Amino acid sequence: MKTVVVNQNGKTFSAVSGKNKSFGKTVGEAIDALEKQTPGEPNSVIYIQDFQPDEFFTAEQQRRLSELMQKFKDNDSDFSAEEKKELEKLIDEELEGSAKRVAKIAEKLGK
């Protein structure tokens, strides 16, 4: 089963299926890019996150992600290598949290 997770963060959407990730300007663009990476996999589930803190991605993580993204957007030339690494880690954690949310929902639906 393929899981498609869609997150809206400002104007960027992302989708993930297993270890495959894609991004787009719209939900459809992100999903289409993911479909190209995972052809022929049936049974997609689409989950649109409401960005409330939870057990998978905390309020502190959300706050820091927002800070780093704003700093990067405002002036990426002042963005240090350490901040870039931290931002990438938080984005990965957010995507992983989304996948875990979907798995939890799918488990509840399966019962």
Number of domains in the chain: 1
| Distance separating alpha carbons of residues 48 and 51, to the nearest angstrom | 9
Q: Is the pTM of this model over 0.85?
A: no
| Distance separating alpha carbons of residues 65 and 46, to the nearest angstrom | 23
pLDDT digit string (tens) for the chain, length 111 residues? 455 555 555 567 777 777 788 888 787 888 888 888 877 776 566 666 667 889 999 999 999 999 998 888 887 678 889 998 999 999 889 888 888 888 888 787 775
The residue range of the domain holding 99 is: 4-110
Annotate 33-68 with three-state secondary structure: HHHHHCCCCCCCCEEECCCCCCCCCCHHHHHHHHHH
The answer to whether residues 41 and 17 touch, using CB atoms and an 8 Å cutoff, is yes
